[in-house]
């Protein structure tokens, strides 16, 4: 990552990418390329789609209303998305936008809205969540954007949660302790899900149901009460430091047991 060109303009596309391919940008993408970035004939843009890697492309046959993107060399091969779910009680829109962007930056591979008893916003716009995640991925040099799951009620979420998957439960009643140390010794052979509740927290019945899961790590986020969008950054930073790609050598797989 140290040699990455942070000045490169990047665009997420749905098309398949390979050297020699020619793409027709959507009207929204074309407006971004021509009127926001002010690119012209022969100018370069970096493309990625979350499947094929990252490619350099150039604009061709540019007019006021159309242009083509010619895909050239591969810049970075595709890496596997992190098996890290960020599971959250939906927030009001501006804070939800922020949360989606920051969870993407922190390496979440999937965003899972979870409806709880105290959730204030019970309807979620998956397309808007996805758009915010894509924008963050474009700006942060990521090779993909997290998937967005359909909203699920907490009882159904817990009932279907795999027994061999680690759930990191951000519990305001957890004892204050070094949060990285709290995850020391945990294994995540089937991935990690981080669960953060709504404003006002989980009720006692919900907290008891969560604690019954067999593969659970309760996490304190410190002595201060954090807003839910702030807690997203704090919790994902702790998980990445303790179990994820902040501590793994390049090329190794995060969220799996270290057998050495």
Look up the CATH number of the domain holding residue 28.
2.40.240.20
For strand 152-153 and strand 166-170, is the pairing parallel, antiparallel, or unpaired? unpaired
* Among candidate residues 91, 124, 86, the one with its CA nearest the CA of residue 105: 86
What pLDDT does 228 receive? Answer: 83
* Among candidate residues 147, 75, 145, 78, the one with its CA nearest the CA of residue 111: 147
Q: What is the mean pLDDT of residues 81-99?
A: 91
Average pLDDT, the chain: 87
pLDDT-derived band of residue 224, with 50, 70 and 90 as boundaries?
A: confident
User: Is residue 18 domain-shared with residue 109, that is, in the same domain?
Assistant: no
154 CB burial (10 A radius; 0-12, 13-18, 19+) = buried
Q: How far apart are CA 173 and CA 167, in angstroms?
A: 16
Q: How far apart are CA 118 and CA 234, in angstroms?
A: 21
Output b/e per residue, 44-75; b: 16+ Cβ within 10 A. Answer: ebbbbbbebbbbbbebeebeeeebebbbeeeb
Non-local (6+) Cβ contacts of 57 within 8 A are 23, 44, 45, 46, 47, 69, 70, 71, 72
Q: What is the mean pLDDT of residues 100-129?
A: 93
| The last residue of a domain, from among 54, 76, 98 | 76
Number of domains present in the structure of the chain: 2
pLDDT-derived band of residue 10, with 50, 70 and 90 as boundaries?
A: very high
User: Is residue 162 domain-shared with residue 46, that is, in the same domain?
Assistant: no
User: Is residue 68 domain-shared with residue 147, that is, in the same domain?
Assistant: no
> Does residue 13 have a pLDDT over 90?
yes
Domain, as residue range, for 235: 84-242
Q: What is the mean pLDDT of residues 110-116?
A: 96
Q: How far apart are CA 1 and CA 23, in angstroms?
A: 28
Asked if residue 260 belongs to a domain, the reply is no
Asked if residue 102 belongs to a domain, the reply is yes
User: Is residue 60 domain-shared with residue 105, that is, in the same domain?
Assistant: no
User: Is residue 109 domain-shared with residue 40, that is, in the same domain?
Assistant: no
| pTM, full prediction | 0.87
| The last residue of a domain, from among 29, 55, 76 | 76
Asked if residue 1 belongs to a domain, the reply is no
User: Is residue 67 domain-shared with residue 97, that is, in the same domain?
Assistant: no
């Amino acid at each position: 990552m140290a040699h990455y060109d942070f000045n490169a303009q990047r665009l997420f596309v749905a098309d398949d990418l390979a050297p020699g391919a020619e793409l027709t940008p959507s009207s929204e993408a074309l407006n971004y390329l021509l009127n926001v970035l002010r690119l012209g004939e022969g100018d370069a843009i970096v493309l990625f789609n979350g499947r094929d890697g990252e490619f350099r492309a150039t604009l061709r046959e540019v007019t006021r209303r159309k242009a083509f993107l010619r895909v050239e060399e591969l810049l970075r091969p595709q890496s596997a998305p992190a098996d890290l779910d960020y599971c959250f009680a939906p927030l009001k829109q501006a804070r939800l936008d922020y949360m989606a962007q920051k969870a993407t930056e922190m390496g979440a591979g999937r965003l899972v809205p979870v409806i709880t008893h105290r959730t204030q916003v019970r309807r979620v716009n998956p397309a808007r969540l996805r758009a915010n995640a894509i924008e963050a991925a474009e700006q942060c040099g990521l090779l993909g954007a997290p998937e967005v799951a359909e909203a699920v009620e907490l009882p159904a979420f817990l009932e279907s949660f795999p027994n061999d998957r680690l759930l990191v439960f951000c519990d305001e009643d957890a004892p204050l302790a070094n949060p990285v140390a709290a995850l020391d010794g945990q294994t995540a052979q089937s991935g990690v899900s981080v669960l953060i509740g709504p404003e006002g927290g989980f009720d006692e019945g919900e907290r008891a149901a969560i604690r019954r899961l067999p593969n659970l790590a309760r996490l304190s986020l410190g002595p201060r009460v954090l807003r839910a969008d702030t807690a997203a950054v704090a919790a994902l930073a702790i998980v990445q430091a303790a179990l994820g790609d902040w501590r793994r050598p390049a090329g190794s797989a995060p969220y799996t047991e270290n057998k050495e």
